[in-house]
Structure 1
Amino acid sequence: MGYKVAVIGATGNVGRAMLQILADRKFPVDEVVALASERSVGREVSFGDNKILKCKDLATFDFKGIDIALSSPGAKVSALHSPRAAAAGCVVIDNTSHFRMDPDVPLVVPEVNPEAIAGYTKRGIIANPNCSTIQMVVALKPLHALGKIKRVVVSTYQSVSGAGKEGMDELYDQTKGVLVHDAIKPQKFAKQIAFNLIPQIDVFMEDGSTKEEWKMVVETHKILDHNIAVNATCVRVPVFVSHSESINVEFERPVSVEEATEALRNAEGVVVIDTREPGGYITPLETSGEDPVYVSRIRKDPTVKNGLSFWCVADNLRKGAALNAVQIAEVLIRDYLKK
């Protein structure tokens, strides 16, 4: 006996990935419903390779009888419809930012804190963390168990797909425009993204950090350990898919490169590619469409006591969003919603 699953925001990048991953991982479904805004009603989306679903109107959909909703429609829409779905008895796994810091909503990365899923009964909602936070904490978890992390300094190199289809379209259009000497008019981003870097993701806060940087701090505290000091600089780069991060870690005790490498190699969801030769590392282009969090360039940091640095890359649409949500659903049905 399978489950009835709704995918909210089914026409977006993440929604489409959710549908594909549900099919790829053979999630036990009896029925899958694709939901989107009124303007997308009737639009066709793929569920796996052989099935086509027609989108239904989220605003009027009755969630009674739906077991699980995978939701990625944007924070404002989710704020309205995720509680409505939960009230109908559906467990919502929400990919937006709206519920992440709600103390009654668990914020979950299955490789890091699967036990937190038990808290879903308070609101009927489980939050999926920010994409850049997810891949970082997957890599930090085995290291924290090894030597207890005191401090993390992270710089991100985030792809335009993190800004949705509009971000990907803007990079594509601007790249063509630069090559034929057309005038560039930024719309989605504050400045030209083609052949450029933008050190701003989301809005600025009073202390000078951006909201994306704030998310990485507070979400790491909620998921992994509130005692870890985190400093983040988040940068948008002209890459279509996959986020990269340069991560510097300070431990409470000495941790060797060999110890860290072994712990990462043995960690769930992590793949180490680090041969210390030209090309012996991972890049975002190679991780697009892949599920793991990849780690390369593990090395000692001689400037701080007990410091290590490494490079971390993951597909932000998969592990950074859709895959993580499906993995939460898999733990949910295994441990809590058994039929």
Structure 2
Amino acid sequence: MQETRLDTDRIRAARRLIDPLFLDTPLYPVQGMEPGLGCAVSVKLETANPVRSFKARGTEVIAGRLVADAAREVVCASAGNLGQALAWSGRDRGLDVTVVASRFAPVAKLDRIRALGARLELVDGDFDLARDRAAAIARHEGIRLVEDSLDLETCEGAATIGLELVDAAPSFDAVLIALGGGAMATGVGQVLKTMAPGVEVICVQPLGAPAMTLSWRQRRVVTTDSTDTIADGVAGRRPIPAVLDDLLVLADDAVLVREESITAGMRMLLDHAGLVVEPSAALGVAAILEDRDRFAGRHVVTIVCGGNVDLARYHRWVGAGR
């Protein structure tokens, strides 16, 4: 395998820095989905922790190292989940955390960031505008900027999911990973390609937010002017070149799915697994729904990456297909 920015030994070390609250999340088959999908599906439940997403695996590593270096302040841009995770990890370690987010982000995510004690600054634009503002704050204040997917701690923290898959799962054929900035895809991909190279690593993005997938397909950074998807957690417009370089090594495929498939996936996870998930967490199921022949007869793992969703929107999305 070609080299990437990630390192398997550092990933194992990251595992030791993460609060056990965020480790060893459940992995189990959902047999009720098999007839509708035509394949065996197991879910890796990354919502089973206090911030209801995988992001705290990375922020635990970052916050621990900041405290070790005697840092007191940190800032990040977030679509919602990273901000919650950094607020949690920072609060437990006495860090002052600033989160910059779009004022159009889900209210449930913004409220939770505030409740966890972070300072929240809202911008009148999307996630990529929040990224610009967070970088400006970091420069002006001289504090650490956490850049999701660019910072290796976010990738290698997420990669501990891959260690757990390799340790705990029976044989499986493919893993479906929601693709946004790329931290989870590159992190889990690094572990699987190193330790279980026969497993297919498939990234999934919405048609309405395709920048990273288009970049992967064209092997160069492709930006978009806007996004249009309910999957706010993966709705970026400007891929990070270094992350794309890693993804080109680690991903076997990157696919795009329709909005109606995302809501159908959310509905299946509710009906057959009792899971209330945000749209990004249903991307894996959506990919199977759109290409049943590809996965027929195989054992597929999908990472349920987040469960922070405004319930009014959730009921509207999930109820629309009934």
Q: Do they fold alike, i.e. is TM over 0.5?
A: no
Structure number with greater Rg is: 1
TM-score range, shorter chain: 0.3 to 0.5
TM-score (norm 2): 0.36
Question: Structure 1 length as normaliser, TM-score?
Answer: 0.35
Bigger helix share: 2
